[in-house]
Amino acid sequence: MKARIPVLAAALLLVVSGCSAGSSASVSAGPDTLSVGFTAEPANFDFTRTDGAAIPQALLYNVYEGLVKLDSQGRVVPLLAKSWTISPDRKTYDFQLRPGVKFSNGAPFTAEDVKFSLLRVKTDWTISIKSTMDVVDHVDVVAPDHARVVLSKPSNGWLFSLTSRLGAMFSPTGVADLATKPVGTGPYVVAARKRGDSVVLKANPAYWGRKPAYSTVVLKYIKDPTALNNALSSNGIDVISAITAPDSIPQFQADDRFQVVQGTSNSEVTLAMNNARAPLNDVRVRQALTYAIDRKALLDTAWAGRGTLIGSMVPPTDPWYEDLSNVYPFDPGRAKAMLTEAGATNLNLRLRIPNLPYAVSAAQVVQSQLADVGVRTTIEPLDFPAVWLKQVFTDHDYDLSIIQHVEARDITTFGKPKYYWGYDSKRVQQLLADADSGTPEQQVADMKQVARQLNTDAAADWLFLFPNVIVAKAKVGGFVQNQVSESFDLTGLAPR
């Protein structure tokens, strides 16, 4: 027994040394294979019944396609619809469909599938964002290549939401087992999945559009940011889809094997203030806190200076973006005076944050800067998502919190008085409604008003906009620089 162990060990060492001779640690078997690292793994493949960003990130635009998609400038552009027209009352949409499109199970894509997919959101989807589709009254199949969608009221938000997973097109013959067998019209199909490790996508041989440059894409799921960086450094992967440890960026910039692509995202890191509860129901107190925080310094500390200061709930890729980041310049003296005027001295606030790295580091800066104006804060990290969602988001049991709001155009949440902001402004609600039903020009004008009003009311303090930082091998090109859609769009990636 004892004698056998060293023999085994020797055998093991032999195998190891034999294998390592001449081979690299790369999973990229050939030039046609690309391996992309992500931090969040899809729980399953069914984004109609499972929430979270990871599933559409992997599948949308890659495996599933909609009538329209978002480009990296945030514009709605054609995908499965060649073109569309909107009736003068803005309630009827006529979509002309691209011919010759097939689902990966061989079924042809027609207007019947448009009807099936859009109506199915109301009946079969269970995730909460489905309510955006409530405005669909009915869908007519005018011809196999012509679908007409009639809304119960005009809605700009509806067309925009078609660029998200809500607009994904399904075949009635391909929805039997969405959680494990996705069937879409996209350039890739899911070839394999190793839970806790990876998802393998292969090029769809019957794809209607341009063939993707990489015939195999391995999506590697690596939760730990250091492990993710190590995987890229040691040739385990070719791309880090989004850097979650900003301190590591200079190390990649300094190495010519790699490139760093930085753009913007939809992800506003927000200091939420409970508008519904004293003392933060007093606009002077909220403004004072906004003056008290040096957002530039906070960005430097919490995210290595990468990111954009915004001043309201609008990323630069939205058509109504204005730079409002200087409305409340850092002014602790003024903050103190305003707090005194509001009779809000000796404040002690609960800063209840998710236990995520960006929130923890930002919270420490907020705490020390608020202390400088005499506001004491107690930082309480809560297990995310479970406990934060329950206590802060659902029960509104908080004074201050720090969280990224990642959804596109989530400024509309300020129109819901029951949302955890506790913000209730009739003017903002009216402006949001007008913007949704109006022409694109009206929409832009009204949304600017909303953003300014939120800024004036200091409804929250928008600390910074998360950057989108992709790090990749130098040889890979074609990345979507600004992360504005829900998809990690693989379709344009190519060797360069």
Partner 1 sequence: MTAKVLRRVAIFVVSVLVASIVVFLFMAVLPGDPAQVALGVNATPELLAKTRAEFGIDRPLVTQYFDWIGGVLHGDFGRSYVTRDSIGPQLLDRLGVTLWLVGAGMLVALVIAIPAGTFAAVKHRKATGAGVSGLSQIGVAIPAFLAGIILVQIFAVQLRWLPSGGWTPPDQDFGEFVRGLVLPALSLGLVQGAVLTRYVRSAVLDTLGQDYLRTARSKGLRPGQALVRHGLRNASVPVVTVLGLQLATLLIGAVVVERVFVLPGLGSMLLDAVASRDLLTVQGIVLVLVVGVLLVNFVVDVLYTVLDPRLRGS
Q: How far apart are CA 166 and CA 182, in angstroms?
A: 15
Applying CB under 8 A, does 124 fall inside the site for partner 1?
no
Instruction: Give me the least distance between CB of 168 and partner 1, in Å please.
Output: 17
Host H or E run for residue 82: strand 81-86
Residue closer to partner 1 by CB (options 83, 253) is: 253
**Strand 460-473 relative to strand 258-273, pairing:** antiparallel
Question: For partner 1, which stretch binds (CB under 8 A), given 47-55, 142-150, 282-290, 304-312?
Answer: 47-55
Among 121, 168, 189, 222, binds partner 1 (CB under 8 A): 222
Applying CB under 8 A, does 261 fall inside the site for partner 1?
no
For residue 196, give the amino acid letter: G
Peptide bond into 385 cis (omega under 30): yes
Residue with tokens 């060492």: 13
Among 75, 223, 257, 475, binds partner 1 (CB under 8 A): 223
Applying CB under 8 A, does 191 fall inside the site for partner 1?
no
Residue closer to partner 1 by CB (options 67, 237) is: 237
Applying CB under 8 A, does 356 fall inside the site for partner 1?
no
Q: How far apart are CA 351 and CA 267, in angstroms?
A: 20
Among 92, 233, 262, 449, binds partner 1 (CB under 8 A): 233
User: Of 34, 408, 38, whose CA–CA distance to 242 is shortest?
Assistant: 38
Applying CB under 8 A, does 18 fall inside the site for partner 1?
yes
Residue closer to partner 1 by CB (options 50, 442) is: 50
Residue closer to partner 1 by CB (options 222, 249) is: 222
For residue 375, give the amino acid letter: V
Among 33, 44, 215, 429, binds partner 1 (CB under 8 A): 44
Alpha carbon 144 to chain centroid, angstroms: 34
Applying CB under 8 A, does 387 fall inside the site for partner 1?
yes
Give me 158's structure tokens: 């509806």
| Tally of CB atoms within 10 A around 202 | 15
Applying CB under 8 A, does 227 fall inside the site for partner 1?
yes
| Cα distances (Å, whole numbers) of residue 260 to 257, 294, 474 | 11, 27, 9
Instruction: Give me the least distance between CB of 370 and partner 1, in Å please.
Output: 26
Applying CB under 8 A, does 194 fall inside the site for partner 1?
yes
Applying CB under 8 A, does 5 fall inside the site for partner 1?
yes
Applying CB under 8 A, does 230 fall inside the site for partner 1?
yes
Applying CB under 8 A, does 239 fall inside the site for partner 1?
no
Applying CB under 8 A, does 196 fall inside the site for partner 1?
yes
Applying CB under 8 A, does 247 fall inside the site for partner 1?
no
DSSP 483: B
Question: For partner 1, which stretch binds (CB under 8 A), given 38-46, 69-77, 98-106, 301-309?
Answer: 38-46
Applying CB under 8 A, does 385 fall inside the site for partner 1?
yes
Question: For partner 1, which stretch binds (CB under 8 A), given 23-31, 163-171, 287-295, 305-313?
Answer: 23-31
Residue closer to partner 1 by CB (options 18, 205) is: 18
Residue closer to partner 1 by CB (options 385, 440) is: 385
Q: Which residues are CB-contacts of 478 (< 8 A; sequence separation ≥ 6)?
A: 213, 492, 493, 494, 496
Q: Which residues are CB-contacts of 390 (< 8 A; sequence separation ≥ 6)?
A: none
Q: Which residues are CB-contacts of 292 (< 8 A; sequence separation ≥ 6)?
A: 330, 332, 335, 369, 370, 372, 373, 375
> What 3-state class would DSSP assign to 239?
strand
Rounded to the nearest 5 percent, the helix, strand and coil shares of the chain are: 35, 25, 45
Applying CB under 8 A, does 127 fall inside the site for partner 1?
yes
Applying CB under 8 A, does 226 fall inside the site for partner 1?
yes
State residue 184 phi and psi, 5-degree precision.
-135, -175
Among 73, 83, 87, 126, binds partner 1 (CB under 8 A): 126
Residues within window 71-90 making contact with partner 1, judged by CB under 8 A? none
Q: How far apart are CA 454 and CA 41, in angstroms?
A: 35
Q: How far apart are CA 243 and CA 37, in angstroms?
A: 10
> What 3-state class would DSSP assign to 329?
coil
State residue 137 phi and psi, 5-degree precision.
-85, -55
Contact residues toward partner 1 (CB under 8 A) are: 2, 5-6, 8-9, 12, 15-16, 18-20, 24-25, 27, 41, 43-44, 46, 49-52, 126-129, 131, 179-180, 194-197, 220-224, 226-227, 230-231, 233-236, 383-387, 389-391, 393-394
